[in-house]
């Protein structure tokens, strides 16, 4: 199903002669980055509206890119200056990468973590004893001159933003974030051909955006080419009218609304996990482009979590929270995830071997001329980036041996997250097992020193990001790059520029708004609450290791955890075997690898609805109808995007600081 042909008219211009990475494409890509960063940060922290960067396909990027396509068609019609499809692919690549940084991407957590240790320290939590002695002075800004206090509470009259207090910490953080970007960029290049050409992954989340970028317009119409199908406009108006109708409620309280936002947990029995009753339109739109076996697997294994988790709970085993996985079930999911990721490397083993041969011997047979960078550069960049990250971890207090074990686990985990997104296209998915969670079980409590515990908390910003940091975005950009037929080496320059501009703008704009309005008024998880909660847990663990008797590694004290890890891994191995052995096998292994995790639980009912809709469509209409309906679902997505944009602009104009959340998971 994923191989259905695109039913939109093909662009009339031959892009094989066009430089996709042109100067105008670079400038428009950077403009998109600036727009999406500013939109995401202002909507999140000032207007308190929709979640613009929480998903793997950030809404801020979608709004900016869609508006640029429509404006581009108008300008082309008026001036005759036409941007070719390959140039729009470049712009899209830059937007995807740039959108991975603001707010939930990185900058919100980074600024929040840097400001938290001093501002939230009290005599009660005793952070001055259990945190501050283990924090390097260059890692966070000093609060002696009220620099951090003013960030949370706003500048007093006549004071200036104390940029000097942030300069050195931001410099060092920027260095390690850049090293992480280099490492993950090299990993994305190394796996690009394997996933895009050898395994032919569908990248469902990119499918509608590639359709849009491939039909930008030819200068003969005021609208983009991808809109020239009646089904597109039917889908567009259905989605747009629902959100626009609900916007009337902003001005007329009590005005009837379409019930598309509300959700709640429904309990079957208090001993079993509940079902999240929420129909997420955004997830449904992307689910159309995913395969039926993926959709079936996700909701079916969520049902397994409800049944098995509840049964284990009744048996006295810790398995549910009660909403999400815990204890033995978490270890079962972890075992499944580890085996799934191991299979990713196993399937790619020949390609990876050829890549490393090419790095050693440029005359090796594998062709890397169409890759954004050569394989030799990718391998060298990977090794140098990892080496710098290791030095940085050791300098902030991490045990050298444990840091050396952590970094391969980071690559392992993030590759798994990127492959899951490339396979499923689910816009809301989190890493089911963090890198430190793969290392820590082999260590006793006194094997992890207080300095390592505090360093681990800080390094989680890059080593344990719930979305896989930059790798999913870079992998998506690698798929979009297929639309650029030449000059792909220049594409890496465009992506690096997008990263630099987004990182600088996101950090500086967040700091500026904090000092202007008081960051505590942001009322955001990533700036205000995440650091306070997480550092509180770190301080408690440091206290415990200092005053309590040492404990043994998890695999010694909790054989039940190890047993369920093995069960999860064994079942995953069986699912992988069945999928590759039997064409008719209906379950994708990914469902087990994310079963019980936070975002899988909250979107499972939506996935079930999407699966049911798609199943009926395929069974009743057949593959032909499914392929012809593609413009309808692209129209639904574009209508939804424009509806969210309308709601956002209404908030900016009429409801500042009292925004309405119309886009969420």
pLDDT at residue number 441: 81
Predicted confidence band at 433 (pLDDT cuts at 50, 70, 90)? Answer: confident
Give the least confident one: 71-80, 180-189, 438-447. Answer: 438-447
The DSSP H or E segment spanning 264 is strand 264-266
Asked if pLDDT for residue 159 goes beyond 80, the answer is: yes
Asked if pLDDT for residue 27 goes beyond 90, the answer is: yes
For 583-612, what is the mean pLDDT? 91
Q: How far apart are CA 301 and CA 587, in angstroms?
A: 10
Asked if pLDDT for residue 556 goes beyond 70, the answer is: no
pLDDT at residue number 549: 65
Place of tokens 């093995």: 566
Average pLDDT, the chain: 90
Q: What percent of the chain has pLDDT over 70?
A: 95
Q: What is the pLDDT of residues 222-265, one digit of tens each?
A: 889 899 999 999 999 999 999 999 999 899 888 888 877 677 89
pLDDT at residue number 595: 93
Q: What is the pLDDT of residues 490-536, one digit of tens each?
A: 999 999 999 999 999 999 999 999 999 999 999 899 999 999 999 99
Place of tokens 């083993």: 349
Q: What angle do CA 341, 358, 493 make, to 5 degrees?
A: 80
Predicted confidence band at 557 (pLDDT cuts at 50, 70, 90)? Answer: low
The DSSP H or E segment spanning 557 is helix 554-557
pLDDT at residue number 383: 97
pLDDT at residue number 405: 93
Local structure of 277: helix, strand or coil: strand
Asked if pLDDT for residue 2 goes beyond 60, the answer is: no
pLDDT at residue number 11: 40
Q: What percent of the chain has pLDDT over 90?
A: 64
Predicted confidence band at 568 (pLDDT cuts at 50, 70, 90)? Answer: very high
For 602-625, what is the mean pLDDT? 86
Token representation of residue 469: 């940091």
pLDDT at residue number 8: 38
For 74-81, what is the mean pLDDT? 86
Predicted confidence band at 268 (pLDDT cuts at 50, 70, 90)? Answer: confident
For 265-287, what is the mean pLDDT? 86
Q: How far apart are CA 118 and CA 257, in angstroms?
A: 45
Predicted confidence band at 553 (pLDDT cuts at 50, 70, 90)? Answer: low
Asked if pLDDT for residue 127 goes beyond 70, the answer is: yes
Residue partners of 76: CB distance under 8 A and separation at least 6? 82, 83, 217, 218, 219
Query: H helices of 518-629, where?
Result: 530-547, 554-557, 559-581, 590-593, 598-628
What's the predicted TM-score (pTM) here?
0.92
Q: What is the pLDDT of residues 435-456, one digit of tens each?
A: 988 888 877 767 788 999 999 9
For 363-367, what is the mean pLDDT? 84
Q: What is the pLDDT of residues 291-330, one digit of tens each?
A: 889 999 999 999 999 999 999 999 989 899 989 999 999 9
Asked if pLDDT for residue 219 goes beyond 80, the answer is: no
Asked if pLDDT for residue 606 goes beyond 70, the answer is: yes
Residue partners of 265: CB distance under 8 A and separation at least 6? 274, 275, 276, 277, 323
pLDDT at residue number 546: 83
pLDDT at residue number 7: 41
Q: How far apart are CA 621 and CA 78, in angstroms?
A: 41
pLDDT at residue number 561: 87
Residue partners of 1: CB distance under 8 A and separation at least 6? 291, 292, 618, 623, 626
Predicted confidence band at 481 (pLDDT cuts at 50, 70, 90)? Answer: very high
Place of tokens 């955006």: 209
Predicted confidence band at 9 (pLDDT cuts at 50, 70, 90)? Answer: very low
pLDDT at residue number 654: 92
Token representation of residue 573: 């191995």
Pick from 5-9, 492-496, 627-631 the range whose average pLDDT is largest: 492-496
Predicted confidence band at 476 (pLDDT cuts at 50, 70, 90)? Answer: very high
Q: Is the peptide bond before 322 cis (omega within 30 degrees of 0)?
A: yes
Rg, the chain, Cα only:
25
Contact 500, 213 (CB under 8 A): no
Give the least confident one: 37-51, 267-281, 367-381. Answer: 267-281
Which residue, among 183, 172, 111, has the nearest Cα to 392 in the 3D structure? 172
Contact 585, 292 (CB under 8 A): no
* Chain center to CA of 607: 18
For 116-138, what is the mean pLDDT? 92
Q: How far apart are CA 472 and CA 96, in angstroms?
A: 10
């Amino acid at each position: 199903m994923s191989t259905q042909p695109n039913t939109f008219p093909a662009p009339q211009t031959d892009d094989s002669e066009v430089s996709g990475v042109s100067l105008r494409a670079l400038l428009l890509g950077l403009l998109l980055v600036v727009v999406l960063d500013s939109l995401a940060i202002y909507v999140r922290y000032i207007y308190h509206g929709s979640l613009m960067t929480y998903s793997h396909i950030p809404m801020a990027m979608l709004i900016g890119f869609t508006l640029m396509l429509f404006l581009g068609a108008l300008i082309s019609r008026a001036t005759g200056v036409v941007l070719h499809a390959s140039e729009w692919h470049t712009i899209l690549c830059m937007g995807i990468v740039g959108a991975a940084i603001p707010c939930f991407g990185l900058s919100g957590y980074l600024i929040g973590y840097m400001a938290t240790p001093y501002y939230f320290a009290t005599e009660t939590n005793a952070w001055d004893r259990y945190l501050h002695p283990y924090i390097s002075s260059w890692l966070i800004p000093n609060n002696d001159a009220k620099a951090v206090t003013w960030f949370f509470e706003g500048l007093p009259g006549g004071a200036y933003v104390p940029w000097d207090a942030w300069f050195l910490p931001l410099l060092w953080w920027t260095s390690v974030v850049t090293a992480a970007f280099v490492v993950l960029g090299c990993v994305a290049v190394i796996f690009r051909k394997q996933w895009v050409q050898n395994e032919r992954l569908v990248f469902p989340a990119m499918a509608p955006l590639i359709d849009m970028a491939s039909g930008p317009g030819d200068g003969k119409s005021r609208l983009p080419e991808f809109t020239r199908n009646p089904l597109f406009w039917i889908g567009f108006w259905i989605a747009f009218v629902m959100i626009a109708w609900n916007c009337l409620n902003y001005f007329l309280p009590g005005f009837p609304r379409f019930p598309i936002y509300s959700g709640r947990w429904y309990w079957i029995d208090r001993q079993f996990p509940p079902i999240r009753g929420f129909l997420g339109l955004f997830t449904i739109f992307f689910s159309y482009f995913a395969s039926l076996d993926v959709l079936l697997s996700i909701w079916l294994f969520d049902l397994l979590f409800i049944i098995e988790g509840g049964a284990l709970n009744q048996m006295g085993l810790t398995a549910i929270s009660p909403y999400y996985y815990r204890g033995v079930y978490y270890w079962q999911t972890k075992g499944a995830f580890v085996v799934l990721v191991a299979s990713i490397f196993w399937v790619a083993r020949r390609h990876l071997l050829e890549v490393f041969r090419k790095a050693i011997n440029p005359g090796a047979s594998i062709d890397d001329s169409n890759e954004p960078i050569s394989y030799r550069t990718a391998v060298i960049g990977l090794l140098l980036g990892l080496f710098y990250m290791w030095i940085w971890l050791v300098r902030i207090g991490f045990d050298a041996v444990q840091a050396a074990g952590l970094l391969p686990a980071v690559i392992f985990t993030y590759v798994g997250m990127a492959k899951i997104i490339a396979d499923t296209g689910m816009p809301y998915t989190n890493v089911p097992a963090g890198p430190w969670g793969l290392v820590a079980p082999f260590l006793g409590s006194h094997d992890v020193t207080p300095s390592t515990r505090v360093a681990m908390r800080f390094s989680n910003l890059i080593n344990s990001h719930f979305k896989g940091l930059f790798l999913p975005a870079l992998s998506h950009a690698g798929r979009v790059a297929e639309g650029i037929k030449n000059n792909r080496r220049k594409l890496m320059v465009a992506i690096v520029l997008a990263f630099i501009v987004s990182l600088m703008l996101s950090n500086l704009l967040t700091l500026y708004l904090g000092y202007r309005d008081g960051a505590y008024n942001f009322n955001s998880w990533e700036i205000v609450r995440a650091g306070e909660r997480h550092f509180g847990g770190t301080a408690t663990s440091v206290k415990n290791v200092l005053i309590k008797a040492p404990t043994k590694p998890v695999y010694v004290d909790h054989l039940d955890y190890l047993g369920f890890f093995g069960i999860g891994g064994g079942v995953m191995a069986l699912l992988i075997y069945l999928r590759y052995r039997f064409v008719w096998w209906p379950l994708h292994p990914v469902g087990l690898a994310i079963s019980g995790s936070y975002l899988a639980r909250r979107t499972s009912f939506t996935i079930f609805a999407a699966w049911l809709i798609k199943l009926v469509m395929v069974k009743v209409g057949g593959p032909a109808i499914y392929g012809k309906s593609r413009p309808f679902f692209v129209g639904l997505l574009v209508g939804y995007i424009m509806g969210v944009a309308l709601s956002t602009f209404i908030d900016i104009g009429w409801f500042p600081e009292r925004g309405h959340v119309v886009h969420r998971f």
